[in-house]
């Protein structure tokens, strides 16, 4: 059910985006009960000129190491679960990748279950 987009400035380590994705998937599994194998991600690296952000919005000091993590998920999870998910992602990226939590920007969009097709032109979640 989730689709994850990870956007970051291109770095010397070509595995960085994929490793961040692994942390995100693990956090989704543990906090919002994403099923096994339900892992769909788009990882995009940008040159610095095409990666725009405010370095201190809301008093959070950001660096060029910032990553955008966009989650599109089915609607229906509580605010508490979403907060736990955000914290698990930030903590995991910090602990496993070494990025600062301040540089982890997460945004979540919820969609109704009838808005998904996982292939064959079928809305698999519609009963």
Q: Calculate the average pLDDT of the chain.
A: 96
- What is the rounded CA–CA span in Å between residue 99 and residue 62? 11
CB atoms within 10 A of CB 64: 12
Domain locations in the chain as residue ranges: 3-115
Chain segment 75-113, per-residue pLDDT in tens: 999 999 999 999 999 999 999 999 999 999 999 999 999
Answer for the pair 53, 66: CB distance below 8 angstroms, yes or no. yes
- What is the rounded CA–CA span in Å between residue 2 and residue 70? 10
- Domain boundaries 3-115, CATH class: alpha beta
Question: Looking at 1, 2, 5, 112, which residue is catalytic?
Answer: 2
Look up 14 and say whether it is catalytic: no
**Percentage of residues in the chain having pLDDT higher than 70:** 100
């Amino acid at each position: 059910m989730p689709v994850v987009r990870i956007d970051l400035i291109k770095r010397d380590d070509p595995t960085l985006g994929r490793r961040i994705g692994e942390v995100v998937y693990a956090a989704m599994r543990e906090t919002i009960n994403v099923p096994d194998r339900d892992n769909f991600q788009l990882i995009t690296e940008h040159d610095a000129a095409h990666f725009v952000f405010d370095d201190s919005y809301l008093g959070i000091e950001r660096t060029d190491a910032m990553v955008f993590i966009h989650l599109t998920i089915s609607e229906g999870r509580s605010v508490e679960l979403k907060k736990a998910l955000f914290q698990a992602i930030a903590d995991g990226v910090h602990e496993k990748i070494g990025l600062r939590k301040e540089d982890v920007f997460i945004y979540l969009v919820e969609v109704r279950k009838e808005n998904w097709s996982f292939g064959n032109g079928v809305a698999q979640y519609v009963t």
